[in-house]
């Protein structure tokens, strides 16, 4: 690979045959995720701030005081992975662990002032890069894409 910038990542090389891959919706999702991840990194600048870590900050901001096990559940992480993700932001003075008076085993997770400021910044940067990701679609097409994606994500009604 000669170019690490997202613009340089070619998704399909027309010189080769990809078999049935391009006809698989799941394969398209994976490719779209890769492009998302690439331009996410370009936009945020700091490669340490991954989509997962940003998600953690976003969820804490929207639900102050959650327990670590709850955060682990929401983000689909094991307890140790949640511990480390929280450590990441606490090291950077963006999150704090506060003792819970009612259950002294658990600790509520909160944004610090710096964390709130960081989140405010990131929300803007990331909303902008997300718009860039879909800039080739009209407003109607984007709304349609999102509603179709939502249905696929939620899965079949059993």
Q: What angle do CA 146, 12, 26 make, to 5 degrees?
A: 40
Strand partners, 66: 109
- d(CA 142, CA 153) in angstroms, rounded, equals 16
Q: Is 75 exposed, middle or buried (0-12, 13-18, 19+ CB in 10 A)?
A: middle
Q: For residues 149 and 38, give the distance between their C-alpha atoms in angstroms, rounded to a whole number.
A: 20
Least distance to its own copies from the beta carbon of 117, Å?
15
Stretch that binds DNA, among 26-34, 80-88, 114-122, 146-154 (CB under 7 A): 80-88
Distance spanning both ends of the chain, measured CA to CA: 44
Binding mask 20-59 for DNA (x = CB under 7 A): ------------------------------x-x-------
Give the range of 21-29, 73-81, 111-119, 144-152 binding DNA by CB under 7 A. 73-81
Should residue 138 be labelled a site residue for DNA when binding is judged by CB under 7 A?
no
Binding site residues, its own copies, CB under 8 A: 1, 7, 9, 11-13, 16-21, 24-36, 40, 51, 55, 58-59, 61-63, 66, 70, 73-74, 76, 123, 126-127, 129-130, 133-137, 141-142, 144-146, 148-158
């Amino acid at each position: 690979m000669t170019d690490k910038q997202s613009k340089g990542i070619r998704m399909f090389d027309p010189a080769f045959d990809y078999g049935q891959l391009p006809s698989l919706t799941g394969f398209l999702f994976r490719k779209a995720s890769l492009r998302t991840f690439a331009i996410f990194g370009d936009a945020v600048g700091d490669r340490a701030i991954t989509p997962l870590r940003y998600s953690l900050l976003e969820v804490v901001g929207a639900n102050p005081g959650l327990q670590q096990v709850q955060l682990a559940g929401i983000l689909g992480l094991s307890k140790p992975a949640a511990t480390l993700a929280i450590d990441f932001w606490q090291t950077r003075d963006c999150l704090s662990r506060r003792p819970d008076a009612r259950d002294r085993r658990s600790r509520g997770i909160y944004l610090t002032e710096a964390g709130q400021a960081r989140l405010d910044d990131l929300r803007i940067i990331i909303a902008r890069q997300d718009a860039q990701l879909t800039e080739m679609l009209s407003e109607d097409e984007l709304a349609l894409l999102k509603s179709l994606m939502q249905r696929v994500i939620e899965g079949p009604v059993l």
